[in-house]
Amino acid sequence: MNDVTHLSNDDELSMESTQNTGTIDSAQQEIIEEFELFDDWMDRYQYLIDLGKKLPALDVAEKTDDRLLAGCQSQVWLVSEGDAEALQFRANSDAAIVSGLIALLLRVYSDRSAQDILTSEPRFVDAIGLSQHLSPTRANGLNAMLRAIRNVARSVST
């Protein structure tokens, strides 16, 4: 087990708030640097699971069919608020690793402008090796989540 799994609560990524500072690029770079600390994919998967456990739960009333994403094998609910200047996203899944993927996407895209969301590529996905290590169904789910986030950004930017 890598030493990173023994971080103190002060050092761990806080998902208590999705309030992001900096840019999409800086958020992606932070994720890349965090994943570089792990020697193998079992540790990286465990980190994803731990991130997912820190997501704030959605209210039962928010888990509606219209917020349920198509294209995900597991259930994923995406709630969006805001406008073209700043979009906030909250999401939950019934699957542990998918919840971790959600946590990463929220770090990168929540509290960003629609324009920033639409003009930035999720380069962290390839940089940390997700493209090579996710099952096809999880990769499809990740793409469905990215598409949904971009669709929300597109809908408020017109």
Write out the catalytic residue numbers.
Answer: 72
The answer to whether 34 and 75 are in contact (CB under 8 A) is no
Question: Which residue has tokens 């456990």?
Answer: 53
Give the residue ranges of DSSP H helices in 58-157: 96-109, 114-119, 123-127, 130-133, 136-157
* Count of beta carbons in the 10 Å neighbourhood of residue 88: 16
The answer to whether 48 and 135 are in contact (CB under 8 A) is no
Long-range contacts of 118-125 (CB under 8 A, 24+ apart): 118/150, 118/153, 118/154, 118/157, 120/24, 120/25, 122/28, 122/146, 123/28, 124/28, 124/31, 124/32
